[in-house]
Amino acid sequence: MSDERERDTRSGAARLRGVLARTTRIARWEVFRSTGTVDRKTALVLVGLLLTVGIVGISVADEGLGLEDELYVMAVDEDSQYHDVAVESDSFRVIGLEDLEITDDGEDANADVVVTQRGQIGHVGPNGAVAYDAFRDAVKEYNERRLSQEANQTAAYPVLVDLEYRDRDLGGATADGSGTDTDESETGDDSTTDGNGGSETTDGTGDDSGTGTEDSSDDDGGTTDGTSGTGDGSLQVPDVGSGAVEDASGTPGSISPPFPFQSLLLAFLFVVPMNFVIQAYGSTIMDERIKRRGELLLVSPASSREIVAGKTLPYLAALVAIAVAITVAVGGGPLSVAAAIPIALLFLAATFVGAMLARSYKELTFVTVTISVFLTTYTFIPAVFTDVTPIALISPLTLIVMDLQGETVRLGEYLFSTGPFLASAGICFLLGLGVYREEDMFAQKAIPVKVIDALASRLHGYRSVPILSMLFIPFVFTAQLLAVALLFAVPETFALPMIFVLAAAIEEFAKSIHVYAGFARSKFESSLRIAVLLGVLSGVGFFVGEKLTHVAQFVGLPELTVGVAAFGPALSSDPLLLLALFFAPLVLHVVTAVISALGASRGQNAYAVAFVIATLVHAAYNLGVIALVA
């Protein structure tokens, strides 16, 4: 027995070495072929892209954007009280009044803002009004800097505001423990300190008399450690996982909502190069089909998995190298690279599927642009709300923003954010491999037909049906998360009906499309018994996979109304109710999957009608459950 095991081990190691050798050989050939096709114009574009990313990254990381440096011209004498204001402002270039030139009609000049010798301020030309507003802001900033340097900070800032964030709790208690039906718990708790050390309340408008300042900030006093709260612990900082929004402190006019603009812009630099790399990757896959170069690879000893892995590896390595370079340039950490890799994988996987489905370079261009827009939107939009709502965690770009802000990320948050991307990438590659064969690669079939072929190629008996239903869960989860992210800010009157229907339609499509593909490609017999059996298998498989989405309960999405509509209510503490809510979806998924399967067995039109019926049943169930729990 030991000899047989040793021989099996040696043979397994030999097979692995063979797979690695063939994959590496294809990757090396892909690198040589790609670099040989890069012309001078393409090289210049790549160099320009690298310079742009580098310049923007360094400028934002070190000195800011600098887009408004010397944007306006101001004419003012050196002895004017406004001269130092203009000199210290980056937005203005200063010239003397003796250098001012104005046209005869007085409509244009070589300056946008003019300060006369009497101290009067005026503006000239088409940019004058905007420049005048910018100068007013510069005056406020100038005064703020002077006030912050005053030795007597109490005199400089008679009114200071400490803003502490509360969790949304419409039916909870106020700070004194009394009940309330107002939405006071949604707002910040503004408390102020007067010049004598006493405390008073303010509405946060900054209209209290005696302030003496406007839109100023405090650099020395009035800060808070963010740990204060009420006795019942109701005061909490809204967080995204473990990254918390810092409590704001300062004058009423200086406090603004948190927005990680700089970190968000730096994180976006990770996504921009991906859009260019996938263009080259899609073109090389398309070359194999249009120029029929893939025939030589298909008849080689290498399997389709080894071919695709070898052709993908150089582009993935390039994206990882770019991510590492950008991370070093902007001062990020290993988390930024680890969060960028799943995004890169999904970009490549979606492009691979698109290149396998497209019939021409024109169609490929449309597909890659669509992929770029969708994935860029999906990764960027949620990250805007990094400091506001847990919805932001659906995008790995949020992890990069948090890393650049110096916040810590737990393992569960990383898996929640990157898991759907990694799973979706794997499934895309799996479906693309289903049509990486001669009858599909070189045939001019419509995209929907090839999609059905790709799905049917993964059906190997009845057991494949529940497996595919489970594999589609990442797509369902991703689509529903995107719907929640897009609709959470919409008024609930419109958002709730839309999310009910969208969530149901997404799930029903994932449960039934592969069943329809099986009937359409004669993988299964079109009979009533087989349709019911496939529906039951698909519903059970989807139910098992859906339980994985309960991770959403632990990142705060059920606290949002649209999150409840998409993913169901939060887990209950009542054992009986918890058991009912856990197994009731099994009946729902089986019933609706059977409805869709019966329609799929009768053809395309019958499947469309059955799909609509199943969606409406599913939406009605979701509405009923939420109304019952509420």
- Which pLDDT score, from 0 to 100, does residue 575 have? 67
Contact between 473 and 542 (Cβ < 8 Å): yes
> Residue ranges of the alpha helices (H) in 149-217?
153-156
Contact between 370 and 458 (Cβ < 8 Å): no
Strand 189-193 versus strand 248-250 pairing type: unpaired
* Token pair recorded at residue 548: 């994985």
Q: Is the confidence at residue 329, as pLDDT, over 70?
A: yes
In whole angstroms, what is the distance from residue 216 CA to residue 252 CA?
A: 8
Report residue 578's pLDDT band, with 50, 70 and 90 as the boundaries.
low
Q: Which residues of 346-383 are buried (b: 16+ CB within 10 A; e: fewer)?
A: bbbbbbbbbbbbbbeeeebeebbeebbeebbebbbbbb
Instruction: State phi, psi for 620 to the nearest 5 degrees.
Output: -65, -40
- How much of the chain, in percent, has pLDDT values that exceed 90? 15
Greater confidence (600 vs 91) lies with 600
Strand 113-115 versus strand 72-75 pairing type: parallel
The amino acid present at 559, given as its one-letter code, is: E
Average pLDDT over residues 295-311: 84
Greater confidence (388 vs 133) lies with 133
User: 3-class SS at 219?
Assistant: coil
The amino acid present at 251, given as its one-letter code, is: T
Average pLDDT over residues 434-455: 80
Number of H helices, E strands in the chain: 21, 10
Average pLDDT over residues 440-456: 81
Q: Is the confidence at residue 505, as pLDDT, over 90?
A: yes
Instruction: State phi, psi for 191 to the nearest 5 degrees.
Output: -125, 145
- CA–chain centroid gap for 70, Å, is 34
Greater confidence (545 vs 245) lies with 545
Closest CA to 531 of 613, 608, 587, 597: 597
Q: In what helix (H) or strand (E) does residue 161 lie, and over which residues does it extend?
A: strand 160-164
Average pLDDT over residues 210-224: 38
Average pLDDT over residues 469-482: 80
Greater confidence (41 vs 448) lies with 448
Report residue 532's pLDDT band, with 50, 70 and 90 as the boundaries.
very high
Which residue has 């009940």 as its token pair? 179
Q: In what helix (H) or strand (E) does residue 416 lie, and over which residues does it extend?
A: helix 411-434
Report residue 277's pLDDT band, with 50, 70 and 90 as the boundaries.
confident
Q: In what helix (H) or strand (E) does residue 52 lie, and over which residues does it extend?
A: helix 40-62
At 107-117, the pLDDT tens digits run 778 888 888 88
Q: What count of other Cβ atoms lies within 10 Å of the Cβ of residue 511?
A: 32
Question: What global pTM score does this model have?
Answer: 0.61
Q: Is the confidence at residue 63, as pLDDT, over 80?
A: no
At 167-177, the pLDDT tens digits run 544 444 444 44
In whole angstroms, what is the distance from residue 286 CA to residue 303 CA?
A: 19
Q: Is the confidence at residue 57, as pLDDT, over 80?
A: no
Lowest mean pLDDT among 130-134, 200-204, 294-298, 469-473: 200-204
Lowest mean pLDDT among 289-293, 325-329, 452-456: 289-293
- Which pLDDT score, from 0 to 100, does residue 256 have? 53
- Which pLDDT score, from 0 to 100, does residue 566 have? 47
Q: Is the confidence at residue 140, as pLDDT, over 80?
A: yes
- Which pLDDT score, from 0 to 100, does residue 441 have? 77
What's the chain's Rg over C-alpha atoms? 31
- Which pLDDT score, from 0 to 100, does residue 218 have? 40
- Which pLDDT score, from 0 to 100, does residue 16 have? 82
- Which pLDDT score, from 0 to 100, does residue 231 have? 38
Contact between 580 and 498 (Cβ < 8 Å): no
Contacts of 242 (CB under 8 A, 6+ apart): 407, 408, 409, 410, 413
Report residue 227's pLDDT band, with 50, 70 and 90 as the boundaries.
very low
* Token pair recorded at residue 216: 């100023």
Contact between 348 and 312 (Cβ < 8 Å): yes
Bridge partners, 395 (sequence order): none
Q: What count of other Cβ atoms lies within 10 Å of the Cβ of residue 402?
A: 29
Lowest mean pLDDT among 198-202, 251-255, 383-387, 423-427: 198-202
Report residue 342's pLDDT band, with 50, 70 and 90 as the boundaries.
very high
Average pLDDT over residues 220-233: 38
Contact between 189 and 229 (Cβ < 8 Å): no
Contact between 59 and 65 (Cβ < 8 Å): yes
Strand 239-240 versus strand 243-244 pairing type: antiparallel
* Token pair recorded at residue 557: 């999405």
User: 3-class SS at 240?
Assistant: strand
